[in-house]
Amino acid sequence: MTKDPTEPDAAPVTGHAVIQSCLRTLTAQPGVYRMLDAEGRVLYVGKARNLKARVSNYARPSGHSARIARMIHATASMMFLTTRTETEALLLEQNLIKQLKPYFNVLLRDDKSFPNILVSKETDFAQIKKHRGAKKEKGSYYGPFASAGAVNRTLNQLQKVFLLRNCSDAMFSSRTRPCLLYQIKRCAAPCVGRIAKEDYETLVLDAERFLQGKTT
């Protein structure tokens, strides 16, 4: 039967129905999801340790804040990227937020109460740490992140892989022998000269590339 051209087009399917349809093919892998409106604009970028479990929360018919309910109602499609680890998902999420500036992520990005990861460069040997508040300290800031727990896990992973120090500058300057973190292979012990300045700078550059999502 030929459609009458004077009849209005059916409204696009949005909201819970769209999210429910996405759940059919989602897996329990870590990754990043994007929620888009009917015009293809990105409304929100989020990350998950388990994509299927996280997205299923949006499929609930009730129990959402007014802001989340509006976001769900406007969602016409979703996009997904899986990652190997939750840490990779967290960093990918932050880089996509910076690139796409989704409407429903704006409040998070403007709130100084959320933590950042700071690669502090107040001394010759950079320190990596969690940071909240004004960005007055010399160094590179990554974030903000919605979860302090996720930041702590990311810092732990960075120390395992890149061996950057997290001690205060006062403690760093007063050390006479390596601390426990060196013994358990979480720090290169630049405080007592166990690594050359140039080699430590290479570790810092590699860590910053990782934080920027340049993992290859």
Which domains are assigned to the chain? 16-109 (3.40.1440.10), 116-211 (no CATH)
| Tens of pLDDT, residues 26-54 | 999 999 999 999 999 999 999 999 999 99
Tokens standing for 179? 């601390």
Position of tokens 């700078």? 201
| Tens of pLDDT, residues 4-26 | 444 445 556 678 899 999 999 99
10 Å CB burial of residue 118 (0-12, 13-18, 19+) is: buried
Give the single-character DSSP code of 49: S
Tell whether the model's pLDDT for residue 1 goes beyond 50.
no
Tell me the average pLDDT of the chain: 88
pLDDT at 110: 56
pLDDT at 111: 58
pLDDT at 215: 63
pLDDT at 119: 96
| Tens of pLDDT, residues 110-168 | 556 788 999 999 999 999 999 988 889 999 999 888 778 888 988 998 999 999 999 99
d(CA 48, CA 65): 19
pLDDT at 121: 94
Sign of CA dihedral 37, 41, 45, 48: positive
